[in-house]
Amino acid sequence: MSRLGGRFVTLETAGRGASGEVFRAIDETNKRLVALKVFAAEGRDAEKLDRFVREARLLSEVESRHVVGYVAHGVEPDGSAYLAVEWLEGEDLAKRSKRETLDGPKVVEVITQAARGLEALHLRGIVHRDVKPSNLFLTTDADGAMLVKLLDLGVARTLSDPGLTRHGTMIGTPSYMSPEQVLGGVDLSFRSDIFSLGVVLFELVAGVRPYVAEDIFAVVAKIALQDPPRLAAIAPGVSAELDAVVARAMAKRPEDRFASASDLAEAVARVPPFTPRSRLFAPKEEETHTAAVRSIATTERRIVTVLFARFATPDAAGDARDRFETEVKSMGGTPYTLLARAHVGIFGGERSAGDEAARAARAALALRDRLGGASITVATGRAEAGGNEPTGEAIDRGARGADQRSSILRVDQVTARLLGDAFELEGSAPWLTLRGERVAPMRVRTLLGRPTPCVGRDREIAHLESLYAEVETESVARAALVLAPPGGGKSRIRHELLSRFANRPTKPIVLLGRGASAFGGGSPFGLIGSAIRAHARIQADEPIANQRQKLGATIREGTTSTFMPLLAQIAAVDEQPQAVGEGMFVADLVRDAFERWVEQVTQTAPLVIVFEDVHAGDVASVALVESILRNHPELPVLALAFGRPEAEQRFAGRWAGSAPVTIRLPKLSKRAQAELATAVLGKSATPEIVDRIVSLADGNAFYLEELVRRVSDGAAGDEDGLPDTVLAMLQARLDALGDDSKRALKAASVFGDGFWPGAIANVLGDEIDHTGAALGRMMRSLVDAEVLERRQVSRFAGEDELVFRSQLLREASYGLLAEADREVAHRRAASWLALHGEQDHLSLARHFELGGQRDKASSQFAHAAEQALFGNDYAGAVDSAARALSCGASGEVRGRIQVMVAEAERWRGGIPAALDAAREACKLLPAGTLAWFHAMRERVAAEGRLANKDAIVSLAEELLSASSEPEARSAQIAALVPAAVHLLYVGHKARAQGLALGVEGLAARAGPGLEPRARARLSQLRAALAAAEDDLGRAIDEQERALALFEGATDHRAAALVCSNLAFQWYAVGNYERAEALLRRALATAKRLGLATIGPLAKQNLGAALFAKGELDESIAVQTEAADTFAEQHDPRL
């Protein structure tokens, strides 16, 4: 026992903290128990002592039953300081939460009482700065009711006295910090505490913290850079009221949060009853940080890589600060600012992944292209980590190199050796010039940890290499489709081929797109979009502004603004535009943008576009590549598609115009199988074992590898040890991995192709120990066991992306899930993907649907339908829309979906179906709105194609009498013009003229604000009326004006239709050459854009022009083609 302050006698040690020990003690003045915190004199830290004394002083100023009660404090003669507070029986919230999930009423009590405690502090001008579960103590009052008390004011401060906090420091516990705390600001207000309490509320309800990552810096980066996640995204069953309360408490901007803690308490008390979600896993308890964000707790000497950027003036450095921090953080580094003229990025200061030099080099390359006038160097060496600033030889050397006032990006000799062949370097020691990154070298394919030869595929690889040689030397576009059943060796050929391409003197630019997950079903632009994002090194969960900047860096300077927004649609960087009724116009613009982008890319090197698992890919991506092959045969582009045999039927005819090479992989020969087995097993490969393996494998590359593994595991001499069927072999393989690994693989299989450790943790719930470190070890062991593979680039920052080495293993793992487990798993998968910014709408839709969340599935299917329209995938648009409707879409939402169906059906020739969809859309959408006019336009188009005269008259009257919103006037005219034209076609000339007068009136009222395409349609109407009056000269003038307006608005589809109609009028006045030229132009556009309706119309008119010129054979041929197509489309113009 010891006595402090003349009155406190210690009884026993109750705990130990960062600033000393805590004792259970007796206050001899009243014989009451107290908690006695003692700051020992030994090893005194002046700053910690100041904090200790500050806590005691602040606590003495507060009286609240929701703040731990102050008793006394003082300093002993030997320098030891003490603080006595009331002794509390119970446990803190962190411990309680580990034991049990608090019910809804208890959660409300905890938060409201904690808020009252904070309000007491705030009224005294005190900010707690470390609100977290372990600082909320749960005890009971005299009546036995739960009582919550705030603990630990060790890092608190008053608003009037910033005290010990310096700019750039981080005070608090990372996962519960507010954004302004993370950024090290000194102007913290009480709203920072409100944010932290909001995080606690989020965790209590959702069962998981809102910000989760393995690394502390990844956590604080998410808090600082990302918008807070919504509670409803993690716990879908919560009420809108509770979701809104949490969202306001955790608003990124302090001024958007509750005005006071008491306001938060009142809001929480008013939310409807709720049931918290069971905790997904017990989080690791975090320590409170009281030092600079970037310091390490204990000083140690480490090898680090340093990126150093020096500027001529402080202003230049200040202007570049945001860009520097963004690039460094995106590559996993930690940024600093030194002396107001230099920025430094540290890679490997706390943890090492082994690729620090490469990540620093990539950040430096990105900065070189963005920061003009900066001197940039990268150096690697020893550094001391642990102080408030980084020090050491690497920084010293980097600073000296950056002082050379050169805009060349340079790296020191140590860094150069670490970079190896992956980067292009020039010069010699001590500084080398970094030019750029080479095409990423392919990892060596291994089996049992040994490099394996690519056997039995020499002929196929030689054929594909010859195609690339032709592309490279003759600057032509070529395509190939490689087909094989699962396990047939497609990935092995792709791996070998890209490795060889990377070693050629002229290294191609490679765009590698992977087919959708098993649940994506081929989201529009999924293949090509993922390839572009990987090429630009875009990750799905980084800020949208960063994604746009990275994508912009792939576009030649000066052309970014013209087609960057359209390329962003393909790469799923931006939200899809609202384009109901305008899908085809957007689709044409997207195609043009992609073609122009490819033209730019191929100016520097040949382009190889690789689609892996194309059978699970999307039509829109295949169609974009088709447009390159068809419209730009002179570009050096090699398109390679790898897939299962069903891919050939799914994409039949898509690349036919470019005469693609189709390679069907045969079974591996017995000789090739034996060669591989012998190479891997070595001396243990007896002839009998090899023969047994070859017999069971039956030419399947995957089966062969699995059997080799089985033999290596010791089953060689046991006939019964070898499985009789592949299915049994796969199940045995999974069982042999252990229960925890098998559960993890089942969770991973839910995501289909790629998955991430954090995603697996979310799906598993609390089934196994899947905290970051444990799950990371498990994933590494599965990679070592050659069950999984790591992808070189992950879609989500801070998360390794993994993939099953074989699709058959994934399917076997998924097959082990019970139906009930699948629903839960898909629901959790959807919430994790949505929280991390997943842009694959079809994949999200399938997860929501399989997870039983039909309303969310419907919304995502609708997005996917719109994406499909943009990609000219009419069948995909109709299918996704149908699924959105089947999931319960109703009201206006259902109406907008039906407009998309009508447009897709019209363009693919399904006129009756288009009419049905348009009719329903018109009933569901409010009259006079933009969407309603689009629906009416689709209905007019369908009724006109089916020659329903009475319906057109009725629709025309309804359209003309409708009161339109200002932004919908152009759409109103766009619907009225075809109605008037159709009336002319069916002989209602007087009605058409009357309708035209109404249209002219609408256009006059719209004035200069009328869109160019609406003015073009008005000219079309005038031309039709003039032609009806036999005024062909005026008709031609108006059509020429319409053509110019449509082309000026880049509406090539509408321009093609005008060409066809204008040609007919030139034909009527005897100018057959002009008519033929316009019609061939229309046909070329129809072919380029894949237009199913304009093509036959142009052919019909071309046949007439050719007949007039005496070219009878071709005339009959094109007329016959047009007639056949009209019949297929049920078009009465036949």
Q: What is the pLDDT of residues 786-815, one digit of tens each?
A: 789 888 878 887 788 899 887 767 877 887
pLDDT, position 720:
38
Could you give the count of Cα atoms lying within 13 Å of 665 in the half-sphere of its Cβ?
31
Does residue 653 belong to any structural domain of this protein?
A: yes
Considering the domain architecture, whether residues 466 and 418 belong to the same structural domain is answered as no
> What percentage of the chain exceeds 90 in pLDDT?
29
CB distance 995 to 960 below 8 Å:
yes
Residues 328, 195 share a domain: no
- pLDDT above 50: residue 984: yes
Is pLDDT above 80 for 337?
A: no
- Predicted local distance difference test score (pLDDT) of residue 701: 79
For residue 292, what pLDDT is reported?
A: 32
Answer yes or no: is 973 within a domain: no
Q: How confident is the model at residue 261 (pLDDT cuts 50, 70, 90)?
A: very high
Please report, for the domain that includes residue 1070, its CATH number: 1.25.40.10
Cβ contacts of 410-416, under 8 Å, gap ≥ 24: 410/376, 410/377, 410/378, 410/434, 411/361, 411/364, 411/377, 411/378, 411/379, 412/377, 412/378, 412/379, 412/380, 412/381, 414/379, 414/380, 414/381, 415/305, 415/357, 415/360, 415/361, 415/378, 415/379, 415/380
Tokens linked to 963: 């009161």
Q: Do residues 340 and 375 both lie within one domain?
A: yes
Q: Is residue 686 part of a domain?
A: no
**3-class SS of residue 172:** strand
> How confident is the model over 1066-1119, as pLDDT tens digits?
988 899 999 889 989 988 888 777 676 777 888 888 888 888 888 888 888 888
Mean pLDDT value of segment 516-523: 56
Q: 928 — alpha (psi -120 to 50), left (phi > 0) or beta?
A: left
Q: Are the beta carbons of 1062 and 1071 closer than 8 angstroms?
A: no
Residue 97 exposed, middle or buried by CB count within 10 Å (0-12, 13-18, 19+): buried
**What's the one-letter identity of residue 253?**
R
* Model confidence at 286: pLDDT above 60: no
Q: Label residue 214 by pLDDT band (50, 70, 90).
A: very low
Angle ∠(953,959,965) on CA atoms, nearest 5? 180
φ, ψ at 691 (rounded to 5°):
-60, -40
Rounded distance between C-alpha atoms, residue 312 and residue 309, angstroms: 10
| Residue given tokens 């690497």 in the structure block | 394
Residue 81 shares a structural domain with residue 23 = yes
Task: Determine the longest span between alpha carbons in the chain, in angstroms.
Answer: 122
Residue 102 lies in a domain: yes
Predicted confidence (pLDDT) at residue 902 exceeds the cutoff of 80: yes
DSSP label at residue 758? H
Give the tens place of pLDDT for each residue, 998-1019: 989 888 888 887 889 989 999 9
Tell me the pLDDT tens digit for each residue of 398-443.
Answer: 555 554 555 578 888 778 766 765 678 887 767 888 888 764 444 5
Per the model's pLDDT, the better-predicted residue between 40 and 729 turns out to be 40
d(CA 39, CA 60): 17
Tell me the C-alpha distance between 1109 and 1096, whole Å: 20
pLDDT of residue 1009: 79
Query: Would the pLDDT of 368 be above 80?
Result: yes
Burial of 367 (0-12, 13-18, 19+ CB in 10 A): buried
25-71 tens-digit pLDDT: 999 999 999 999 888 655 556 667 777 777 788 888 888 999 999 99
Which of 649, 664, 679 represents a domain boundary (last residue)? 664
Report the percentage of the chain scoring pLDDT > 70: 81
Q: Give the end of a domain, one of 644, 664, 684.
A: 664
Handedness of CA 838, 842, 845, 851 (dihedral sign): negative
Distance CA 264, CA 257 (A): 9
Tell which residue, 135, 175, 1120, 284, has the closest CA to residue 773: 284
Tell whether 660 is covered by a domain.
Answer: yes
* Torsion, CA 127, CA 130, CA 135, CA 140, rounded to 10: 30
- Yes or no: say if 973 and 998 are a contact pair by the CB < 8 Å rule: no
Residue 1072: what residue type? Y
> Residue 732: what pLDDT?
56
Contact 911, 945 (CB under 8 A): yes
Question: Residue 410: phi, psi to the nearest 5?
Answer: -125, 150
Q: Which residue has the higher pLDDT, 32 or 1124?
A: 32
Q: What is the mean pLDDT of residues 201-225?
A: 71
What are phi and psi for residue 313, nearest 5 degrees?
-135, 155
462 class by beta-carbon count within 10 Å (0-12 exposed, 13-18 middle, 19+ buried): exposed
Do 608 and 480 share a domain, yes or no?
yes
The pTM of the full predicted model, rounded to 2 decimals, is: 0.53
C-beta atoms surrounding 453 within 10 Å: 13
Distance (Å, whole) CA 189 – CA 128: 10
- Say yes or no: 512 and 630 in one domain: yes
**pLDDT per residue over 608-643, tens digit each?**
999 988 887 888 898 899 999 988 999 999 999 998
Do residues 520 and 647 both lie within one domain?
A: yes
What is the CATH number for 388? 3.30.70.1230
The rounded distance, in Å, linking the Cα atoms of 479 and 642 is 11
CATH of the domain at 205: 1.10.510.10
Amino acid at 1049: A
Residues 6 or more apart in contact with residue 687 via CB below 8 angstroms: none
| Residues 248, 130 share a domain | yes
Spatial CB neighbours of 188, under 8 Å, sequence gap ≥ 6: 127, 129, 157, 165, 178, 180, 181
Task: Give the number of domains in the chain.
Answer: 6
> Given this model, what pLDDT does residue 922 score?
93
239 and 160, same domain (yes or no): yes
Strand 509-514 to strand 607-612: parallel, antiparallel, or no bridges (unpaired)?
parallel
Residue 60, amino acid: S
Domain that holds residue 207: 91-270
The answer to whether 858 and 610 have CB atoms below 8 angstroms apart is no
If asked whether residues 385 and 511 sit together in one domain, one would say no
| β-bridge mates for residue 447, sequence order | 450
Question: Is 738 domain-assigned?
Answer: yes
Evaluated on CA atoms 503, 506, 511, 514, the torsion sign reads negative
Q: Provide the token pair at 245.
A: 């309360």
Q: What is the H or E stretch that residue 599 is in?
A: helix 583-601
Contacts for 732 with CB less than 8 Å, ≥ 6 apart: 723
Tell me if 674 sits within 8 A of 680, measured CB to CB. no
Cβ contact 869:906 at 8 Å: no
Does one domain contain both 223 and 193? yes
Among candidate residues 664, 688, 721, the one where a domain is terminated: 664
Q: What is the CATH number of the domain that holds 764?
A: 1.10.10.10
Within a domain: 883: no
Task: Say whether both 80 and 96 belong to one domain.
Answer: no
Q: Which position has the higher pLDDT, 1133 or 589?
A: 589
For 1113, counting Cβ atoms within 10 Å of its Cβ (0-12 exposed, 13-18 middle, 19+ buried), the class is: exposed
Residue scoring higher pLDDT (1020 or 545): 1020
Residue 278 lies in a domain: no
